[in-house]
Amino acid sequence: EPEVTQTPSHQVTQMGQEVILRCVPISNHLYFYWYRQILGQKVEFLVSFYNNEISEKSEIFDDQFSVERPDGSNFTLKIRSTKLEDSAMYFCASSENRELSEQYFGPGTRLTVT
């Protein structure tokens, strides 16, 4: 069964460093998403991406964040200068279309900023 994959599973970085989280969505899916879950809190939407551009972003997704689909299979989330409060589990998801189909999630990348 096709699945969303994410690498790395755990990333430790120092405050102020740049990190890139990688995702490979399900191959025939057209919509891609990033969510994050701070420990003990709700899963929060960060950004959605379609046709090589951002469809929607939340207020969390500020200028420190960017997304890219560098090739036909990868979807990345970059955090330019990490802060302590960026420590969270980051989930990538993909879906066939925007509203009428379910979103499939990857296993997540745990980001720890020290």
Partner 1 sequence: GEDVEQSLFLSVREGDSSVINCTYTDSSSTYLYWYKQEPGAGLQLLTYIFSNMDMKQDQRLTVLLNKKDKHLSLRIADTQTGDSAIYFCAYNQGGKLIFGQGTELSVKP
In the three-class reduction of DSSP (H, G, I as helix; E, B as strand; rest coil), residue 85 is classed as helix
Question: In this complex, which beta carbon is closest to partner 1, that of residue 14 or of residue 52?
Answer: 52
Per CB under 8 A, 112 contacts partner 1: no
Per CB under 8 A, 32 contacts partner 1: no
Per CB under 8 A, 53 contacts partner 1: no
Find the shortest distance in angstroms from Cβ 112 to partner 1. Answer: 14
For residues 74 and 92, give the distance between their C-alpha atoms in angstroms, rounded to a whole number: 11
Candidates 31, 56, 58, 55; CA nearest to 44 is 58
The answer to whether 4 touches 25, Cβ cutoff 8 Å, is yes
Binding site for partner 1 (CB under 8 A): 31, 33, 35, 41-45, 48, 55-56, 58, 91, 93, 98-100, 102-108
